[in-house]
């Protein structure tokens, strides 16, 4: 594990996993899954790590690929197996860190 993905004491935190997930980009929107607000929850108290996320649309053509990228990145950052659940909730731009990045608001 690199220093970027662990806390000062060597413990993996939700924030370090979330920061690692910033490296997973939506290929159509060219923004990362965290900035887009797609990552709704990360639970490190379970084995495997649980990541709950949304897709920008229910029929996102890159959905399976994004889920796999999130899983692999969470596993690398967390140092153990991860499971990704895609929530049925509908995404909207207000969930983004900064909706103005896509020209909204």
For residue 70, the tally of other CB atoms under 10 A from its CB is: 22
In this model, does residue 5 exceed pLDDT 60?
Answer: no
In this model, does residue 2 exceed pLDDT 60?
Answer: no
* 102 belongs to a structural domain: no
CA 33 to chain centre: 5
In this model, does residue 102 exceed pLDDT 90?
Answer: no
In this model, does residue 81 exceed pLDDT 90?
Answer: yes
CATH number of domain containing 90 = 3.30.300.130
In this model, does residue 16 exceed pLDDT 70?
Answer: yes
Domain count, the chain: 1
Where in the sequence is the domain holding 65, given as residue range(s)?
Answer: 3-94
* 99 belongs to a structural domain: no
Average pLDDT over residues 67-92: 97
pLDDT score at 40: 98
């Amino acid at each position: 594990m690199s220093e970027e993905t662990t806390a000062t004491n060597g413990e993996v935190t939700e924030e370090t996993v979330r920061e690692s997930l910033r490296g997973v980009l939506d290929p159509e929107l060219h923004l990362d899954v965290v900035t887009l607000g797609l990552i709704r929850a990360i639970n490190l108290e379970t084995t495997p790590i649980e990541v709950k996320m949304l897709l920008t649309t229910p029929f996102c053509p890159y959905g399976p690929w994004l889920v796999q990228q999130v899983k692999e990145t969470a596993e690398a950052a967390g140092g153990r197996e991860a499971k990704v659940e895609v929530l049925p909730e509908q995404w909207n731009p207000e969930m983004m860190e900064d909706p103005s990045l896509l020209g909204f608001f």
